[in-house]
Amino acid sequence: MSEAEHYGFQLPEELVMLRDQVRRFMREEVKPIEDKLPHDATGCSSQDRAYLRGLAEQMGLTRLTVPEEYGGNPVSAMARVIIAEESAKCRLGAYAPALGAFGGGPPNIIWGGTAAQIEQYGVPCVDGRKRAFVAITEPTGGSDPRNNISTRAVKRGGKWVLNGRKMWITGAAGADFGIIFARTSDGGDGVPPGITAFIVEPDYPGISFNEIGVIRALSPYEIVLEDCEVPEENVLGDVGKGFGVAQTWLVDARIPYAAGCIGIAQEALDMACGWVKQRPTRDGMLSGKQAIQWMIADSEVELRAARMLVYDAASKVDQGQSGKVDASICKLYGTETAGRVVDRAIQMFGGMGVAKEMPLERWYRELRVKRIGEGPSEVHRMVIARDKLRNTDGGIYFG
Ligand SMILES: Cc1cc2nc3c(=O)[nH]c(=O)nc-3n(C[C@H](O)[C@H](O)[C@H](O)COP(=O)(O)OP(=O)(O)OC[C@H]3O[C@@H](n4cnc5c(N)ncnc54)[C@H](O)[C@@H]3O)c2cc1C
């Protein structure tokens, strides 16, 4: 029986083929390279990366969010979640697109830029010549960026001058440029009020980076902006309209983010099943114990539910719906489920579960971050509850 039938949800044949293709690629090509890496390495040699990227390219697995006119191979949201789930099973896939086997693609918001910006910054990211970061969060808080962004951009001469600090920015060091969000006006000064997106290069005077060690191996960075001068032509989109652009991009990213977490957790559960079936106890294998079976059953049920929520959100996006609340639902449930499943898998492995020779403890640390990044669970609960309250009148008995 195919897995699609097993889940009782019939994925279209081409998506089943895509899933199997990515699964094979991860198992046969990416995993052997990953096996040679130190436990906490977040990338491989440039030679291995070029090799994997070349293969991924041949299979049509790269440039998935790049418009066709810029050399892209855009695919549906459903295809992206299928790829995200399978590719997250190896870390060289999980850190895609910036560092992983699947290569390329700048943050999507660059495609809303001018022709010159796309030429200078967007296109070189497509084939891996450039890499970018996105900086929204600040030390004063990331959960409510619309109100919390206090980095200021003031127009002086023909330039915008940025002052402020950004926190927890992934991939900032070594990037070729970043998209930094700053408050351009509170209104009343002739400048449209709101937040604006700027393209900033790391060698502009007045920008510096400090690594922040965190629970997972891939460190984020603090960015300090002290009278950092940005050319006027580096405003991305309209002045004062940056936040709307960021929101669309974030919604778009959350659904594959959840799918990736489910992929990691599925791998952990499958590993644990393999382990308990061959781990002897005084009276039979571990797999015969109800305590173990319940952990397996709960994990399987929750993972299936989480995957269906991801498919539901992706299919709504493919039908042209905004998917905002659905993205919050699958991000919340996907990240929390994945954390629980990996935790149970560690428990089933016992001491081996926390050993550095196994990937489980690394996944556990990575997944802990996922409940905070891309919006903490509590903020997604708030989004979901507000929507529910707005659209529900009390049902049959109270309405
Ligand atoms: C490893 C890592 C990488 C990251 N990469 C990036 C990046 O590349 N670019 C970027 O811009 N940002 C990035 N972030 C930032 C991330 O998006 C923020 O950490 C997140 O949005 C939360 O913001 P905060 O840390 O300031 O927490 P706060 O906003 O201070 O919130 C703290 C806690 O308070 C609770 N909370 C907040 N608001 C509410 C509410 N309304 N109701 C109830 N509870 C609430 C939540 O539990 C939350 O975890 C990254 C973070 C990490 C940890």
Alpha carbon of 374 to ligand 1 centroid (Å):
7
How far is Cα 201 from Cα 178, in angstroms, rounded to an integer?
6
Contact 383, 332 (CB under 8 A): no
Residue 247 pLDDT level (bands cut at 50, 70, 90): confident
Report pLDDT for 98: 53
305 pLDDT exceeds 70?
yes
H or E segment to which residue 209 belongs: strand 207-211
Which domains does the chain carry?
Answer: 3-105 (1.10.540.10), 132-236 (2.40.110.10), 244-398 (1.20.140.10)
With a Cβ cut-off of 6 Å, ligand 1 is lined by 133-137, 141-143, 168-170, 214, 220, 369, 372-373, 375-376, 378-379, 382
Q: Range with the lowest mean pLDDT among 23-27, 46-50, 379-383?
A: 46-50
Average pLDDT of the chain, as a whole number? 92
Query: Residue 337 pLDDT > 70, yes or no?
Result: yes
pLDDT for position 370 = 96
Atom of ligand 1 nearest to the CA of 144: 29
Helices (H), the chain: 3-6, 13-25, 31-34, 46-58, 77-87, 91-94, 115-117, 123-126, 145-148, 242-278, 290-318, 324-349, 360-370, 377-391, 395-398
What value does the mean pLDDT take over residues 301-308? 97
Are residues 186 and 193 in contact, defined by beta-carbon separation less than 8 angstroms? yes
Mutate to test the pocket of ligand 1, among 138, 223, 372 (most ligand atoms within 8 A of CB): 372
Token representation of residue 117? 């910006």
β-pair partners for 195: 183, 241
Q: How far apart are CA 367 and CA 268, in angstroms?
A: 12
- Whether residue 97 is predicted with pLDDT greater than 60 in this model: the reply is no
User: What is the maximum alpha-carbon separation in the chain?
Assistant: 80
Which pLDDT does position 38 carry in this prediction? Answer: 94
Q: Which amino acid is at 352?
A: M
pLDDT band at 322 (very low <50, low <70, confident <90, very high): confident
| β-strands 132-135, 177-185 pairing | parallel
Residue nearest to atom 37 of ligand 1 (CA): 143
Q: Which one of 95, 134, 138, 143 would you pick to mutate in the ligand 1 pocket, going by the greatest count of ligand atoms within 8 A of its CB?
A: 143
Burial of 245 (0-12, 13-18, 19+ CB in 10 A): buried
Rounded-to-integer distance, Cα 379 and Cα 385, Å: 10
Ligand 1: which residue has its CA nearest to atom 48?
A: 376
Please tell me the residue having the least CA distance from ligand 1 atom 35: 378
Per-residue pLDDT tens for 248-261? 777 778 999 999 99
The CA distance from 289 to 72, in Å, is: 51
pLDDT in tens, 101-141: 787 678 888 988 999 999 999 999 988 889 999 999 999 98
pLDDT higher than 90, residue 187: no
Shortest-distance Cα residue to atom 16 of ligand 1? 373
- Confidence at 294, pLDDT banded by 50, 70, 90: very high
Read off the amino acid at residue 266: Q
pLDDT at 186: 76
Lowest mean pLDDT among 16-30, 105-119, 308-322: 105-119
Task: Give residue for tokens 């990211």.
Answer: 125
First and final C-alpha spacing in the chain: 45
Active-site positions read: 374
Ligand 1 atom, smallest distance to 216 CA? 1
pLDDT of 67 reads: 92
Which numbered atom of ligand 1 lies nearest the CA of 139? 26
- Neighbouring-strand partners of residue 161: 154, 229
CA distance 322 to 185: 28
Give the list of residues 6+ apart from residue 167 with CB closer than 8 angstroms, or none. 137, 138, 139, 142, 212, 220, 222
Q: What are phi and psi of 73, to 5 degrees?
A: -130, 65
Look at residue 10 in the predicted model and tell me its pLDDT. Answer: 86
In this predicted structure, what is the pLDDT of residue 8? 62
Protein residue with least CA distance to atom 38, ligand 1: 143
The reported pLDDT for the residue numbered 99 is 59
